[in-house]
Structure 1
């Protein structure tokens, strides 16, 4: 007798997150990575820089090395199987960007580096940040990711969002605890994505403990959620929000999953 050929196992879906700095993958997309891994997806993170121009809670001789190590630790805690750094330098928040930084590189160079990693991992879902927090590196990486996704024909592409309404509540809190903050006028600074542009809302509360551990791995950085009133922190962290770019959103009820 000739035995029958067993059916092929279905390919696990793949979710890839592309960000500018270590900690963006956790503070911005950590709950989405945990959610995807919990549902059987293989996940990957691409980081454009080592975050060497960021502020640190304590002095370090080589902040880039510290932040890269934190990225890799956090990625393990998030269930990420592949981490890649692109080798650009952190541009910082302001000032003339130096050569080799994210902002100092040509757009084509940034797109090409991202595209190589996207093609290597072949994601079903590609995610980046919405760039609505005021950091110029986040905006450039977002735009480069969208170009790379088009070149690679990625079937589903999202930008992870901070909602404008939550950012207004955050600004109200900052008005009390940090009245000198330059980010108190949320609408003027265009912080957050307008709520009516958010297409995807995912309940990720079950992953909160794991997310907290991953955020704590970025010990050199101050968490943006520390010190927030309990209800506001929960609203940021227990729900993940995104805007679907590919395929284009045509309206209707919001999605509750990234994986089709």
Structure 2
């Protein structure tokens, strides 16, 4: 576990394009939407790639009904923080398998969008103390790990050569992979400018949230996001923060 006395470093800002790859609708809204809002405000481009449509996420809705609802909520949520491109890879929610098929699909997304920064969600087995030290889900672990690997795959023309045949030339321009929600954060972004929009962005997942909790949805979103941001402030000069574990390439 990171020493709480260690200060978090500011995230790099000398980049223009980012690609965020996560398992489910709402993952980015719980993880780092305040940072995304600040980045898009600064004129940077951020694209979202969702590995599933979150069709197994609401117990009272069968997957065929749930998937289009959650897709619509994700698109509305992304728009709140300035993200206009949202794509879905259609792996099966709840049973994502780490392996070459997943790495290939993510590498293809990286080659399509050619980001300098790739963002994903916690690939570790557990969440940190800020969320109770809970066991992570297999989907998050698989997608986070595959994204870290695919950042390298995307630059190697001899891995997944069929992508070249499809017009997706290698992209070796990924400079960092940033893992949101990591148990071992190293860097952070000041959450203050984007915090209010991050609350509104998470609130767009209303059907999911109303099935998840009996708490007032806006109160739930605000409490969760401001609590996490404030918990990180002691390691970021007293500023509310969105944290990342940053891997350089």
Fold in common (TM above 0.5) = yes
> Which residues of 2 match residues 102-141 of structure 1 at below 5 A?
102-103=96-97, 107-131=99-123, 132-133=126-127, 134-141=136-143
156, 175, 190: which one aligns with 1:203: 190
CA deviations 1:45-95 (Å, max 9, x no partner) are 000001111135x6566011110110111111111131110011101xxxx
- The CA distance in 2 between the partners of 1:231 and 1:116, in whole Å, is 35
- Give the match's secondary structure for 1:245: strand
Structure 1 residue 20 corresponds to structure 2 residue 23:
yes
> Which residues of 2 match residues 162-173 of structure 1 at below 5 A?
162=182
Is the Cα contact below 8 Å between 2:191 and 2:229 reproduced in 1?
A: no
Matched residue, 1:250: none
Give the deviation of 1:32 after TM superposition.
2.0
Runs of 5+ in structure 2 lacking a partner?
Answer: 1-13, 128-135, 155-171, 214-218, 233-239
How many residues in Structure 1 have an aligned counterpart in Structure 2? Answer: 192
Is the Cα contact below 8 Å between 1:12 and 1:40 reproduced in 2?
A: no
Matched residue, 1:256: none
Q: Which moved more, 1:130-139 or 1:68-77?
A: 130-139
Matched residue, 2:244: 242
Runs of 5+ in structure 1 lacking a partner?
Answer: 1-10, 92-96, 163-192, 248-260
Instruction: Report the TM-score when normalising by structure 2.
Output: 0.69
Instruction: Report the TM-score when normalising by structure 1.
Output: 0.67
- Give the match's secondary structure for 1:126: strand
Larger radius of gyration: 1
Structure 1 residue 78 corresponds to structure 2 residue 70:
no
> Which residues of 2 match residues 87-102 of structure 1 at below 5 A?
87-91=90-94, 97=95, 102=96
Instruction: List structure 1 runs of 4+ shifted beyond 2 angstroms.
Output: 58-61, 222-225, 227-234
Is the Cα contact below 8 Å between 1:42 and 1:81 reproduced in 2?
A: no
Give the deviation of 1:35 after TM superposition.
1.7
Give the RMSD, CA atoms, in angstroms: 2.6
Give the deviation of 1:200 after TM superposition.
0.5
Structure 1 residue 232 corresponds to structure 2 residue 227:
yes
**Which has the bigger relative contact order, CA under 8 A and spacing at least 6?**
2
- The CA distance in 1 between the partners of 2:119 and 2:28, in whole Å, is 10
